[in-house]
Amino acid sequence: MSERAFDTETGSIFYEVFDATDARQEVAPTLVLLHNFMSSGRAAWGALLDTLREHQRILLPDLPGHGQSIGHPTDFNHRQIARQLAAWLEAEQAQQAHLAGCSSGGMLAQLLVAEGLVRPRTLTLVSTTHSINPTKSGHTGQLDPADFKAAANWMEATARLHDPYHYEGYYEDVILAGFRRLHPETAIDLPLTTLASFAMPVCIIHGTADEFFPPAIAERMAAAIYDAELHLVPRQTHALLFRQPWRVAQIMVEFLHQHP
């Protein structure tokens, strides 16, 4: 594992690189993992790393403004973040790597593809949506962190992912405040017709009790994409990476094995 940084116009992206552990592979394919808003690369994907890196080289960033990454576009504008990630992936020669994202990371992954910034071999979307605009998603509920059915004291634990690298109170002042200001123009607002243009195999993994994005959204996304498979995990709420990481890893390994 190595730690690196990539400079952008608004700061630097911290990321880790994990080589594949299967010594029989001369050149392992690359898998890029994008985490959810308010988290970090290790916090979100850490429990899956040993499984996923057996046959894949892993690129694991802290998204701009999160974890050890410094600086971010105004209001965490996802399209600007996508462009920063695209420049980083170009520097890593990973524009055609396998790409996966959870929640906000899944939104960024879709924007990277929709805007032609990358051409991933496959796309995996976990607990995410194509739009937070109710007229497109069909869901009128508000995205409120208080609705996230996480463990007790999860807000305090989440703050510890960020504050030590910035300052005490950074999480509440910057990240949580930024999340609450997100709207369709700064997050994601793609029509299903855009997803229909995705040419790569897509794996959608979603909980049937997702409190942020009801499973009907995932079902419509899967129906719109020509080459998509949908995995609905029963009785699971948002951010499956934290709920059943072993199940997500199993689905991803099987999916990636089909598309080496």
Q: What single letter denotes the amino acid at residue 112?
A: L
CB-based contacts of 164, cutoff 8 Å, min separation 6: none
- Domains of the chain plus CATH, in order, are 2-258 (3.40.50.1820)
Q: Which of 60, 63, 59 is nearest to 11 (CA)?
A: 63
pLDDT one-digit tens code per residue, 211-248: 999 999 999 999 999 999 999 999 999 989 999 999 99
Straight-line distance from the first to the last Cα atom of the chain, in angstroms, rounded to the nearest whole number: 22
CB neighbours of residue 15 within 10 Å: 24
Buried-state track 211-231, b at ≥16 Cβ within 10 A, e below 16: ebbbbebbebbbebbeebebb
Q: Which of 226, 164, 151 is nearest to 40 (CA)?
A: 164
User: What residues does 12 pair with on adjacent strands?
Assistant: 7, 70
User: What residues does 57 pair with on adjacent strands?
Assistant: 30
Beta-carbon-side half-sphere exposure of residue 126 (alpha carbons within 13 Å) = 27
Q: Is 145 exposed, middle or buried (0-12, 13-18, 19+ CB in 10 A)?
A: middle
pLDDT one-digit tens code per residue, 4-50: 999 999 999 999 999 999 867 678 999 999 999 999 999 999 999 99
The DSSP result for 21-79, as a single string, is S-TT-SSPPEEEEE--TT--HHHHHGGGHHHHTTTSEEEEEPPTTSTT-B---GGG-HH
Q: If DSSP codes are grouped into helix, strand and coil, which group holds residue 239?
A: coil
Residue 53 banded pLDDT, cuts 50, 70, 90: very high
Q: Where are the beta strands (DSSP E) in 189-255?
A: 202-207, 228-233
Q: If DSSP codes are grouped into helix, strand and coil, which group holds residue 181?
A: helix
pLDDT number for residue 147: 67
pLDDT one-digit tens code per residue, 118-173: 999 999 999 999 999 999 888 877 777 766 666 668 889 999 999 999 999 999 99
- Segment 81-109 mean pLDDT: 98
Spatial separation of the C-alpha atoms in residues 93 and 95, rounded to whole Å: 6
| Rg of the chain in Å (alpha carbons) | 17
pLDDT number for residue 151: 62
- Segment 66-89 mean pLDDT: 98
pTM of the model: 0.96
